[in-house]
């Protein structure tokens, strides 16, 4: 019983110390950075292809 209570207390402390909102915020910030990078890369590839097609 004492082990179970200790585990529950540790879980409760971890849940309180890590706010779920801050974890989600970190995930979205990382995702936004990767998304911006991918959009810029796709635009650069499109511009490169268009410049190759219209170059004589």
Count: domains in the chain: 1
Helix%, strand%, coil% for the chain, nearest 5: 90, 0, 10
Digit-coded pLDDT (tens) for 25-54: 777 777 888 888 889 999 999 999 999 888
Give pLDDT, residue 45. 94
Domain that holds residue 32: 2-54
Q: pTM (2 decimals)? A: 0.50
The tokens for 7 are 């585990």
Query: What is the Cα–Cα distance from 40 to 56, expressed in whole angstroms?
Result: 26
Sign of CA pseudo-dihedral 34, 39, 45, 47: negative
């Amino acid at each position: 019983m004492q082990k179970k209570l200790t585990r529950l207390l540790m879980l409760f402390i971890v849940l309180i110390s890590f706010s779920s909102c801050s974890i989600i915020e970190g995930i979205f910030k990382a995702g936004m950075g990767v998304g911006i990078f991918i959009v810029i890369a796709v635009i650069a590839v499109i511009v490169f292809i268009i410049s190759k097609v219209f170059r004589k």
